[in-house]
Amino acid sequence: MGNTISSALDPTNRGKIQVPADYKTPKFPSLYIPTLSSTIRQEGIFLYEAEAIWHFTFYWTIILLCGIFLLCSLLASLSLLLSRFEWRDDPASDHVKTEIPDPFLTTPSTPSHRPAYDPSTPFDPKTPGLREPLVEKRRRPRRKRPPLWPVFLLPVVMTAVAAVVSVVTGTVVGFALAAVYSAGGFSMSTWVPFLWALIQVVVLIISSYSTLTTIL
């Protein structure tokens, strides 16, 4: 047998856990395909040192958290970029003149009953039969085209924020896992740091919805 680590799991040698003599700390990520038979025989790639457990958890947290932040920021940048090329009216059509239909308009089948119109008489909208002049309607002003710099700056800022969050959460969770597994004498599969990093990302996504956080 190789080195021993303090454990309370071994009934014959309580307080110690056996580490293979030829054990070497696996390189990141060292994921393997677990099967039912290999799980029963406890075959796989495992971590024993607290430092290795922290490293694996920290690396996976940075990769997954920065990846999801970068993906969301790229989608937001794409939305800003598309808004710069959306269709806009021609500036010449900002002012539109409309004319109110004339109920006394003459047609071949109906004679006109329009009263005589005196040009010297000011226009009175209450006077029946008088045609209302052209009315100029102003459309609401067009929105300004958004600047281009947020399209490129947003992914950089969001990835930097994700990196800072990953350093904090990955370190805390990594040390907690290392302390628990070392105190209990458990050998940790290399899948465990990945799953805990994935849990952190899922919790962060859920917490972004105020309704879910209120219910939970």
Mean pLDDT of the 114-132 span: 53
C-alpha 173/C-alpha 195 separation (Å) is 12
Mean pLDDT of the 190-200 span: 93
For residue 8, the model assigns a pLDDT of 38
> Quick one: pLDDT band at residue 32, thresholds 50, 70, 90?
confident
C-alpha 125/C-alpha 113 separation (Å) is 17
Give the type of residue at 13: N
The candidate with the shortest Cα–Cα distance to 14, out of 163, 160, 184, 136, is: 184
Model confidence at 138: pLDDT above 70? no
For residue 45, the model assigns a pLDDT of 83
Mean pLDDT of the 113-134 span: 52
For residue 160, the model assigns a pLDDT of 92
C-alpha 14/C-alpha 7 separation (Å) is 7
Higher pLDDT, 9 or 99: 99
Q: Which token pair is 52?
A: 């290795």
> Quick one: pLDDT band at residue 109, thresholds 50, 70, 90?
low
Model confidence at 39: pLDDT above 50? yes
The candidate with the shortest Cα–Cα distance to 136, out of 96, 102, 101, is: 96
- pLDDT per position as a tens digit, 150-193: 778 888 998 999 999 999 999 999 999 988 888 877 788 899 99
Contact call for residues 2 and 16 (beta carbons, < 8 A): no
The candidate with the shortest Cα–Cα distance to 47, out of 154, 177, 197, is: 177
Give φ, ψ of 156 to 5 degrees: -65, -45
Contact call for residues 128 and 115 (beta carbons, < 8 A): yes
Contact call for residues 99 and 135 (beta carbons, < 8 A): yes
C-alpha 180/C-alpha 174 separation (Å) is 10
pTM, two decimal places:
0.62
C-alpha 5/C-alpha 15 separation (Å) is 8
Model confidence at 10: pLDDT above 70? no
- pLDDT per position as a tens digit, 60-87: 999 999 999 999 889 888 887 887 776 4
For residue 167, the model assigns a pLDDT of 92
Contact call for residues 192 and 13 (beta carbons, < 8 A): no
C-alpha 205/C-alpha 216 separation (Å) is 14
Higher pLDDT, 95 or 75: 75
